Structure 1
Amino acid sequence: DYLLGNPTDKEAKESAKILKQAMPRQIEFEELDFNLGERWIQTDIYSKFASHLFDTEVRVYYSEKTDDFSIACEKKNIIITEKHAV
């Protein structure tokens, strides 16, 4: 930190003060809105979620060309076919 090594630099202190005032507030986790199909969430996270949810290995793929997600599942089970009716 520059100011720790240069505590008498008035201009740097003023600049730091102005920058801190201009910083936006931190967004709380509860304020975030996550939806399946968000393009910024990596497909491996979707794959882990679906594998956990369906209790079997699931791979999720995304195609930028078609803007589509696709899913490959090793084997269907009762959780998939009955509980979630997928």
Structure 2
Amino acid sequence: MVLRLLLRYLANNEQLIERMAESYPMRRAAQIVVSMTYRFKNIAQERGLHDMSPERFKSFMEYFRNNLKQEIEGAKQELKKKP
């Protein structure tokens, strides 16, 4: 409850928000987000993912998740093998 009140106060403090928005880390984070958005959009268009049906997208994400899990497990096995 106290945390919620504190966050609400900070979010409504216009001067604090202005100073944070002008800070280098915030500007850089925004630049990175925009850059990644455009990169992913271009990749999706190149691979034809932007016109996928919901079912095909769901199966693609499932395949991606399984592949990611396998890679993580493989990396764990490699780390265990190293002395």
Identify the structure with the greater helix proportion.
Answer: 2
Q: TM-score, normalised by structure 1?
A: 0.26
Identify the structure with the greater strand proportion.
Answer: 1
Task: Tell which structure's C-alpha radius of gyration is larger.
Answer: 1
